[in-house]
Chains A and B, each alone.
Chain A
Amino acid sequence: MRRWVLIAVPYLWLLALFLVPFVIVFKISLSDVALARPPYIPQFSWDDGIWAFLRELDFENYIFLTTDSLYWKAYLSSLKIAVFSTFLTLLVGYPIAYGMARAPEEWRPTLMMLVILPFWTSFLIRVYSWMGILSQEGYLNQILMWTGIISTPLTILNTNTAVYVGIVYTYLPFMILPIYAALDRLDGSLIEAAEDLGCSRFQAFWLVTFPLSRNGVIAGSFLVFIPALGEFVIPSILGGSKTLMIGKVLWEEFFSNRDWPVASAVAVVLLLILVVPIVLFQRNQQRQAEAEQ
């Protein structure tokens, strides 16, 4: 009896506030836009019966998504930005994680805290902090012009470059922590064994350290890639009008154009795109958990 209460409370909560909303999104994505409140048809009513209601639904919005190049360009550009910035985050994050794992034992808790601290700080503020640095008259341009590297200020803010910087900066802890965890678990005698068997330091890294941190690299990459794909805040603060990302498109479709059915269809497609990396990520995590046993 008590067991069922324990299961039912969180279960029902998630059903009502997580699953049902998705069913609604899916349903609205099959509806038509209308000048009404709420701004779509058909509305379900008991008088007409469920069959009449279902007959009104169609895939028109999805067909629209494929015909208007804005949408598939936005999906492609989101994918490109997410892939490229994940790679950049890996390039920046791996050396930091490696340095942390090789740091003296007594420093590591402090270094760990320094990585986690930004994670607790407001995401919005961390993105915002780059506006002052990257703008035309910002600190970066000031320094570059003062040192004489450039003579005219660079335009970085409101471009894709600024979006890359923003994603790398805000998601860096997500990359560092799993890689650090993998490197920290690494038995130091494995590296010594590799050297003992004739590896140089560099060979030992490529043949032993890197393959054994692979799970951390994969986990970190997914943790950056998945949220970066649907990112809204970074492109809308740091990106320009030319920065196309699907999260931004969905937002504008909903709030500016008030086209709820198309916004819903955009959401459903985004979700379908995300299923692949999410499933891959889960498999990686499971494999890792099994390997640890």
Chain B
Amino acid sequence: MTRLSWFNTVSLTLGFAFLYIPMIILIIYSFNESRLVTVWAGFSTKWYGELIRNEAMLDAAWVTLRVAVMSSTIATVLGTMAAYVLVREGRFFGRTLFSGMIYAPLVMPEVITGLSLLLLFIGLGLDRGILTIVLAHTTFSMCFVSVVVSSRLVTFDRSLEEAALDLGCSPFEAFRLVTLPIIAPAVISGWLLAFTLSLDDLVIASFTSGPSATTLPIKIFSAVRLGVSPEINALSTIMIAIVTVGVITASLVSKRNALRRQKDEQAAVQNA
């Protein structure tokens, strides 16, 4: 099974071509001279220049970034708490409702989540703006964080915590000094997931934002409805580049850590 069969080679090649060609075309045509996006007219970086001078776009980007940082941070705290409750606290009144509320937002259509939150904010008389988007994003992304963290907590060796308690830690200290450092990778990926979900979200943000706060996806969506534009291509290229660098760095770091660990273990065996 070390060699790929003919069938597998073809299916992998076609599959990954399908996944990547649209994005590659997008990137190539972001450097197109012409405003007519489907006709190549020479290399140019002018659309990137236009993008940087587009004040409204930059404002939207800034709003998006602030919302994403705030909502993903709060969501990580709440989501980790929720995961801990689900995995560790056993039975308590309303546990079924609680776990239902954790899992439901994962499969809820965004239009419904957006609509219901908007109706709540109106009922409460909250002005729609950054605050309401942060509240909305926190609510659905904390559920994703809690799923990621609880899948790690399930495999966590509980005797480590018991050892910490036995050695004199309070429960909170045991969590801070033992559990948290061990589940940290899951918590970090939970944060990253929440951050990306917030950056990406169009539908919920459209419902919960007001005229004072427009996010980047809302801006892109209204531009895209008018057709393909080279400026959006340039913006997409930048976003794809950031994500690619981020994902590759993350995987290299985790690979290096795994390799180092393997080496340490080998060295330990040899020195024993």
For A250, the closest partner residue in chain B by CB is B111
Contacts of A250 in B (CB 8 A): 111-112, 115
**Contact of B119 with A7 in the complex, beta carbons under 8 Å:** no
Contacts of B130 in A (CB 8 A): none
Set B102, B117, B221: member contacting A21, Cβ < 8 A: B117
- What is the interface size of chain B, counting residues whose CB is below 8 A from a CB of the partner? 83
A120 to B4, CA, bound (A): 28
A113 to B203, CA, bound (A): 27
B124 to chain A, nearest CB (A): 10
| Interface bits B221-264 vs A (CB < 8 Å: 1, else 0) | 10011011000110010011001101110010001000000000
**Contact of A137 with B82 in the complex, beta carbons under 8 Å:** no
For B26, the closest partner residue in chain A by CB is A129
A64 to B89, CA, bound (A): 46
**Contact of B199 with A263 in the complex, beta carbons under 8 Å:** no
Contacts of A38 in B (CB 8 A): 122-123
> Which of B17-25, B54-62, B161-169 lies at the interface?
B17-25
**Contact of B89 with A117 in the complex, beta carbons under 8 Å:** no
Q: Does A67 contact B (CB under 8 A)?
A: no
B36 to chain A, nearest CB (A): 8
Q: Tell which of B108, B233, B246 has the most Cβ of chain A within 10 Å.
A: B108
| Interface bits B97-139 vs A (CB < 8 Å: 1, else 0) | 1100111110111111001110110110000000000011011
For B123, the closest partner residue in chain A by CB is A24
Q: Does A118 contact B (CB under 8 A)?
A: yes
Contacts of A115 in B (CB 8 A): 19
**Contact of A99 with B11 in the complex, beta carbons under 8 Å:** yes
For A11, the closest partner residue in chain B by CB is B98
**Contact of B115 with A7 in the complex, beta carbons under 8 Å:** no
- What is the interface size of chain A, counting residues whose CB is below 8 A from a CB of the partner? 83
Q: Does A52 contact B (CB under 8 A)?
A: no
Set B2, B25, B138, B244: member contacting A104, Cβ < 8 A: B2
Q: Does A142 contact B (CB under 8 A)?
A: yes
**Contact of B11 with A95 in the complex, beta carbons under 8 Å:** yes
Q: Does A206 contact B (CB under 8 A)?
A: no
A103 to B15, CA, bound (A): 14
Contacts of B255 in A (CB 8 A): 109
**Contact of B246 with A103 in the complex, beta carbons under 8 Å:** no
**Contact of B38 with A120 in the complex, beta carbons under 8 Å:** no
For B21, the closest partner residue in chain A by CB is A133
**Contact of A21 with B38 in the complex, beta carbons under 8 Å:** no
For B119, the closest partner residue in chain A by CB is A24
Set B22, B103, B135, B146: member contacting A129, Cβ < 8 A: B22
Contacts of B37 in A (CB 8 A): 132
Q: Does B179 contact A (CB under 8 A)?
A: no
Contacts of A278 in B (CB 8 A): 104, 107
**Contact of B112 with A125 in the complex, beta carbons under 8 Å:** no
Q: Does B153 contact A (CB under 8 A)?
A: no
Contacts of A111 in B (CB 8 A): 12
- Pairs across A and B, CB under 8 Å, 7 listed: A24-B119, A24-B123, A122-B217, A131-B224, A247-B110, A251-B111, A274-B109
Closest 6 pairs (CB-CB, A-B): A230-B109, A21-B116, A95-B11, A96-B15, A129-B22, A99-B8
Given A11-B94, A114-B19, 16 additional A-B pairs, CB 8 A: A7-B98, A96-B11, A113-B247, A120-B246, A121-B240, A122-B199, A122-B239, A124-B217, A132-B29, A142-B38, A169-B22, A229-B109, A232-B203, A247-B109, A263-B115, A278-B104
